[in-house]
Chains A and B, each alone.
Chain A
Amino acid sequence: MSNDGNRFERTLDRRTLIRRLAAAAGLTTVAGYPALAPEGWPLSRRDSTGLRSKSRPKPVRLKDFTVEKPIFAPDLAVGHGPTPEERLRAALDALGGLEHYVRPGEIVLLKPNVAFDRSPILGATSDPDTVEALIRMLLVDCRAAEVRVADNPIESPADCFSRSGIGPAVGRAGGRVILPDDSAFRVLETPAATLIQRWPVFFRPLEGVDRVIGLAPAKDHNLCGASLGLKNWYGLLGGPRNRFHQAIDEIISDLGLMLRPTLTIVDGSRVLMRNGPTGGNPSDVRRADTLVAGTDPVAVDAWAFEHLLERRGVPPYLVAAETKGCGRIDFLGRIEVVG
């Protein structure tokens, strides 16, 4: 640089030009290889079928929603009374109080049975008055931040929530109904399960939830004998779940592994004694004005089978559930009856 006028001038010699051209060609080749190389080649990103770019969401796992019960409390409690609120209070207070299980500020998922667009009189769905009373208790007594109510009926969900009376009941009590749609499902991993190790589940209402409570009606079921607390979780399954009817005892026992709820409640406000699970005749329905709640879903179902449905023995799915470690059938000495 002899002077300021030549400061920015610089000649490009042949060697430099070739070197730069080679570098540019190398970079282009490296950048273009993944896109242009045939699909079988190493590092190829070619996607002629579109399958490679198809999203594969990671399977999710549910956490354990159980809460340690107070030392003095029984595993399950039965509440009698003329109104749903009295029944709920009687049973839940015996378990240590609902406030013990749900802390202020927590988000609670309440899972009723809304499987059919039928009148509540027929006993095929959860009793809307009990749903309403429980939501009020959760919001007022426990000061829960939010109570979500969800189910995945195969029929039109909006119709089912409306005609069962549960949709309006949730609205009156201040809860929130979450309806399923195609984007609401995630593949859930349940490694210990037999049939649903990886299966799509209605997951959106479970996002960020702290506590899960099942509120099932007690009803007859023509395939498995009874539809109670464990069977209630069947309503969260997505996919072609009707295929499980061929192995219904296995799937119900799997459901006990899939979700470990905070509380299981089986409501005997209306017990569908025959022609379940849909019913159709109000004379098949018995008003028991009884409710059983507990931390052991297997024991709750065993008690409801014997005392609400008035059947002897235990259904096969409960035996399978006990074998899989979901709970214990024998409820004697673990129960308190109130009211």
Chain B
Amino acid sequence: MPRERVPKPVGRRVIRRRIPPSETAAAFCVLICLVLIAVWVARRKDRFDPADRTPTVETVPYERVGRVLETEASPDSIIDADLGQFAAAVAARGWSFNEPIETYDPRTLYRKIDGAAERFLRHGFRRLHCLRLTDGTHGISIDVYDQGTPENAASLFDPDTWKGRPVIVSGPLTYFTTSIGAIGTCGRCYFEITADDDDPVSVAAARDLAEAMARLPNESPDTVWEDADE
């Protein structure tokens, strides 16, 4: 009867002359599992589910591309940011700033309005300030383009757009209302006020905000807005 274990002459390890059927069966099972996994991986490769790595809207770490002047969301903090009477006038109308103000310069303007930036750059664009107001339900966006001179700002008006609409002139302020807000100029600034929808309350508020634009800086280009960036 052969011995099952024989000592190797040069070492302390033992070798076996016979492998039990149970171990053979287990090895085959492991092998089959590995083959099945390989087949599954090969089949799944082309059916990759991007959801596995898709961030949700809440967690996506997108970059706030504009220069953030303030991160605190209160009217007072906006005033602290040296936006002056303009911010105070807006806040007085009962809408709050829930998002930081974003500022873009000629180098970064495309990040806000990719494809449309050239229209403003052609007319001496200096800065864009974007404000976002909300009353909890509705939203209003205010985009103020500092074009350097009143002539540059006025040249952004498209005659086809406001033809036939009553243009309101109030001191340095010139604007017309749209169905969801107002568009106009004040001094060297061109502005667009846009409600998110055609809800009458937010549209009325957006139009009303146009009067607040009269507080926009009219001084030379390097005064108020420049201070705001520091």
Which chain A residues have a beta carbon within 8 Å of chain B's beta carbons?
Answer: 1, 7-8, 10, 107, 115-119, 121-122, 148, 153-158, 161-163, 167, 176-179, 181, 183-184, 204-205, 207-208, 221-223, 227, 242, 245, 274-278, 280-284
Contacts and interface: CB of A to CB of B under 8 A. Distances in A.
A10 to B, nearest CB: 6
A207 B48 contact: yes
Nearest to B183: A281
A11 to B, nearest CB: 12
B197 interface: yes
Contacts of B63: 156
B114 A115 contact: yes
Nearest to B197: A119
B110 A154 contact: yes
A208 to B, nearest CB: 5
A32 B185 CA distance: 72
Nearest to A171: B57
Interface string B102-128: 000000001111111111000000000
B41 to A, nearest CB: 14
Interface residue SS majority, chain B: loop
30 contacts: A8-B9, A119-B195, A119-B197, A122-B194, A148-B50, A153-B114, A154-B65, A156-B63, A156-B65, A157-B60, A163-B196, A179-B54, A183-B53, A207-B48, A207-B50, A208-B49, A222-B116, A223-B115, A274-B160, A275-B119, A276-B116, A277-B115, A277-B116, A278-B113, A278-B116, A280-B143, A281-B161, A281-B178, A281-B192, A284-B158
Contacts of A1: 9
Given A1-B9, A157-B60, A283-B179, 18 more contacts: A115-B115, A118-B141, A148-B50, A154-B65, A155-B65, A155-B114, A156-B65, A158-B62, A162-B57, A179-B54, A181-B55, A181-B61, A184-B50, A205-B50, A222-B118, A223-B115, A280-B143, A282-B179
Nearest to B99: A159
A8 B9 CA distance: 6
B111 A204 contact: no
B178 A282 contact: yes
Interface of B: 7, 9-12, 46-51, 53-55, 57, 60-65, 110-119, 139, 141, 143, 158, 160-161, 165, 178-180, 183, 192, 194-198
Nearest to A107: B47
Contacts of A178: 50-51, 54
Nearest to A10: B10
Given A7-B9, A156-B64, A179 B57 contact: yes
Given A179-B54, A207-B50, A119 B196 contact: yes
Contacts of B7: 7-8
Contacts of A115: 114-115
Q: Sort A-B residue pairs by CB-CB distance and give the 3 closest, nearest first.
A: A278-B116, A207-B48, A242-B110
A100 B36 CA distance: 35
A284 B161 contact: yes
A291 to B, nearest CB: 23
Contacts of A157: 60, 62
A221 B10 CA distance: 85
A279 to B, nearest CB: 9
Contact of A208 (B46, B57, B113): B46
Contacts of B112: 154-155
Given A8-B12, A208-B48, A275-B158, A179 B55 contact: yes
Contacts of A207: 48, 50
B189 to A, nearest CB: 15
Contacts of B178: 281-283
Given A154-B65, A280-B192, A176 B51 contact: yes
A236 B48 CA distance: 19
A156 B10 contact: no
Contacts of B161: 274-275, 281, 283-284
B115 A158 contact: no
B180 A155 contact: no
A331 to B, nearest CB: 26
A336 B161 CA distance: 34
B197 to A, nearest CB: 6
A162 B180 CA distance: 18
B159 to A, nearest CB: 10
A118 B194 contact: yes
Contacts of B115: 115, 221-223, 227, 245, 277-278
B180 to A, nearest CB: 6
A167 B183 contact: no
A208 B95 CA distance: 46
